[in-house]
Amino acid sequence: MKYFHEQIEAKWQQYWAENQTFAASNNSEKPKYYVLDMFPYPSGAGLHVGHPLGYIASDIVARFKRHKGFNVLHPQGYDSFGLPAEQYAIQTGQHPDTTTKENIARYREQLDKIGFSFDWSREVRTSNADYYKHTQWIFIQLFNSWYNKNTDKAEDIATLITLFSNEGNTSVNAVCDDNIVSFSASEWNAFSSEEQQKILLQYRLTYLAETEVNWCPALGTVLANDEIVNGVSERGGHPVIRKKMTQWSMRISAYAERLLQGLDTIDWSESIKESQRNWIGKSVGASVDFRLQNAEGSISVFTTRPDTIFGVTFMTLAPEHELVSQITTPEQKAAVEAYVEATAKRSERERMADVKTISGVFTGAFAEHPFTKEPIPVWIGDYVLAGYGTGAVMAVPCGDERDYAFANFFKGTHGMPEIKNIFNQDISEAAYGEKGGFELVNSDFLNGLGYKDGTKKIIEELEKIGQGKGKTNYRLRDAVFSRQRYWGEPFPVYYVNGLPQMIEAKHLPIVLPEVEKYLPTEDGQPPLGNATTWAWDSVNCSVVGNDLIDNKTIFPLELNTMPGWAGSSWYWMRYMDAHNENEFASAEAIKYWENVDLYIGGSEHATGHLLYSRFWNKFLKDRGYAPTEEPFKKLINQGMILGMSAFVYRQHISFHKQIDSPVDNFTGSVTDDSFEGFQVLVSKNIKEKNNKATYPLLEELDEFTRRYVQKKFEEFENDENIEAYGYSISYHPIHVDLAVINDITNELDIEAFKNHPLYSDYKDAEFILEDGKYIVGREVEKMSKSKYNVVNPDDICNDYGADTLRLYEMFLGPLEQAKPWNTAGITGVSGFLKKLWRLYFDDNGSIVTNDEPTAEMYKSLHKTIKKVTEDIENFSFNTSVSQFMICVNELATMKCNSRKILEPLAILVSPYAPHIAEELWSQLGHEGSVSTVAFPICEEKYLVESEKEYPVSFNGKMRFTIKLPLDLTVPQIQEIVMADERTIKQLDGRIPNKVIIVPGKVINLVG
């Protein structure tokens, strides 16, 4: 009976689907376990073998937990809104919904083929109206909430309105906009409805504000920071500029401290936690107001070093700072405007990363020192960011390296003063940035103080004069929530006199309307401006074009859509109760599942997705909709599977000719790299040989290249103008599609290469072979379609089986490390499964017996049970696969066919190779699925050593081994060893001077 993976895997995948084997219950007496993979975006490219790595790991855990008696929720769905589908729609005119559904169908086909134990009955898609209905509802809750610092949580906006009505806002302690105007209760009650709405917008957790955004003109939309790479859009590589726009924003900054403190309560890697801490960026210091000279107003700064205030030499504003246009003098206007325009073309990330370039412009304005009243020149510089702190810094060159470099670079220009030294330390070569080891000098009433005492004293003095106070600041900024795209969640918003109103929840969902064009309108409106009909559960309202009509009054609708992270910021809760039409999940379901026990996904989401998810979860907890503060208890970032790229090498020969020209007396070097109309591609090892030296000897070259070079030399010899000549060889590597090579032998299929549409330029190329073959070069790189090194998991499943793919991906190395894919290595894992199968069957059928196993068989099994159990609990899956191989080899050597060994072995293998395990379990005579059978438990009694294989040495050299019971005494051991024929032969009649025996360890005969 042979092992046919195709039939077995298809059979059990069908069984699981028909029987809903992995459907989780929301009402179970079993303990719950919720394991989740990060939400995949269904791209048109489908999966390559790198994508399933995390899914396989999570599936092993999910299956293991079912064996351990848990009610396991292991769902899957799709983050199906996104820019790629929209860009494809713009290019082809095909609706994003159509391509998205096609991509999802392809993903589902591939995922099913690998045998994941997903509960597909709970599948969600963020682009389905029955899903984003609830995203819209959550947005409304955010709009109708404010953050109360006294209770340290979000509350209903109605409680804030009550406070305003009874007390005004002077005693309200809220997270809100800056520069809030104070008012009394009577003033509030006298305000018009519109005035009250405008004030409430300054407090709401989602609000409209003019914000600096990353604007991509080519894509016609705002981009998040993580959608920008090296200053251009990740999608398409288009330029991105900074631009002010009125946008919806989320007040995530309200949760900065809770997001920071919550990291101490969750089991995440320290590197991910540190990334989040840095992104949140907590800083303790002081806010200081520097009044402007010869103008109204002041410049507010936040500094972590208020003790250095007497060292302020100049001030720097972000180019986008609102004061720049107000304070710039006419003489500096042109220079400032040019600098602002140039800075707008650089992303914030680019500006932050560029620490070498020094640039800036003097505004012509001066501020006033709070204590000395000395004038301080005000500059702008792109190293200051508008969104961090106040967008302004007090520059203290003696204590900050970047300020030091800036001051020295512009020294003597535009009134840049000499650097003031306020430390009793030398700053002639560099700034002194330490917080200790100094006393302040030249600092008036701070002289003689250090950092701690100086900071305390200066804050007291600033508060006395009303120009500053102690403050904690965060780098984390409110998240821009508007996108000028089509393919996203519509906002449940309309406008009355320019003020946003929420459409009633009973009318949700606001369904994404059809449009003819996915580009912005001719007058610059977002793509939804092209809509002619919107739809929702209308009761009192109707829609014409982009307007809502209520009682014959027309109100414009919001035309922006939500960002991609809207739907992915709460999706784990929808899985808990995926078909609930009235709520995003019932209170009972949420109470049962609580949060995710294990979350697996890529480290590229270390900040964006994970911060937004934690923010929404904390908000929903505040409002009574979530039971826990944190959404994900444990997080594991799987490493990347790297592709093994293949290369052919185009040969490039440069001929250097020394020419003496009588016409213009020119003598120089001219390069001729022509291959006379054809390309030459050199096999890897010949390339290596030719490339040993920059100028290789002719006799070291391959025959074709040598003949070509000699021919050129003959031409040079016949040209009387050429006095001297030489040559050099270089090679240009060209990525090759893996489809045209043998992935095991690395041999290029030359005809397939010539006929491949990608390589039409090489149809008439000359191929320089080695032993009649063209061997390609190989190199480990990121797996990517652009490098043609993508391996399709379907091919592996077809050729070797899904169980082989699963085991091999785990066998490659530790889950969290990057590792290269090598298809050649998969044959070993395939062979292991066949060897496992042969423990149960021969050509005639089952060979399983009811014989009692030997002690060694029990030992091999229970050693494996112990190892695999520990490995899964520690997420060390690669060593489990190694242990399976050791165990099967041991059992095969022992000719073990005992049911008492092979039944538990089938269960042990099940989380890793579920298809073969199911078939083995069925063939052993069991009904149903192996997936919930109790996991074997290691019995230590089988691991207790009763014998020891001693090395027997003579004068320190081991000559043979002998297996003896461990309970023997030293005299008994010596008696047995001395009587052994091998000892007698080795001694050859001699009597040893000494016999050294260490029980359980060594035997050594000396002399």
Q: Phi-psi region for residue 363, left (φ > 0), alpha (ψ -120 to 50) or beta?
A: alpha
Residue 839's nearest CA partner among 887, 794, 882 is: 887
State the Cα torsion 866-867-870-871 to the nearest 10°.
-160
> Looking at residue 939, what DSSP letter applies?
-
85-132, pLDDT tens digit by residue? 888 888 888 999 999 999 999 999 999 999 999 999 999 999 999 999
792-832, pLDDT tens digit by residue? 999 999 999 999 999 999 999 999 999 999 888 899 999 99
For residue 818, give both structure tokens: 């990057």
Phi, psi of 166 (to 5 degrees): -95, -30
Please, what is the average pLDDT of the chain?
91
pLDDT band of residue 9 (cuts 50, 70, 90) is: very high
601-620, pLDDT tens digit by residue? 998 888 899 999 999 999 99
469 and 274 in contact (C-beta within 8 Å)?
Answer: no
Q: So what's the pLDDT on residue 345?
A: 79
Q: Which residues contact 140 (CB under 8 A, 6 or more apart)?
A: 492, 502, 505
Measure the CA–CA gap between 276 and 298, rounded to whole angstroms: 33
Q: If DSSP codes are grouped into helix, strand and coil, which group holds residue 759? A: helix
Measure the CA–CA gap between 695 and 524, rounded to whole angstroms: 60
Q: Is the peptide bond before 509 cis (omega within 30 degrees of 0)?
A: yes
Q: Is the pLDDT of residue 540 over 60?
A: no
Residue 392's nearest CA partner among 405, 401, 383, 402 is: 383
Q: In what order do the strands lie in the sheet with 221-223?
A: 221-223, 206-216, 241-250, 479-480
Q: What percent of the chain has pLDDT over 70?
A: 96
489-508, pLDDT tens digit by residue? 999 999 999 999 999 999 99
Sign of the dihedral defined by the CA atoms of residues 882, 884, 886, 892, in that order: negative
Q: Is the pLDDT of residue 693 over 70?
A: no
Helix then strand count (H, E) for the chain reads: 31, 38
Q: Is the pLDDT of residue 344 over 60?
A: yes
319 and 382 in contact (C-beta within 8 Å)?
Answer: yes
136-193, pLDDT tens digit by residue? 999 999 999 999 999 999 999 999 999 999 999 999 999 999 889 999 999 999 999 9
Q: Which residues contact 554 (CB under 8 A, 6 or more apart)?
A: 544, 547, 548
State the Cα torsion 152-156-161-164 to the nearest 10°.
-10
For residue 811, give both structure tokens: 């066998």
Q: Give residue for tokens 């060594």.
A: 1002
pLDDT greater at residue 620 or residue 1000: 620
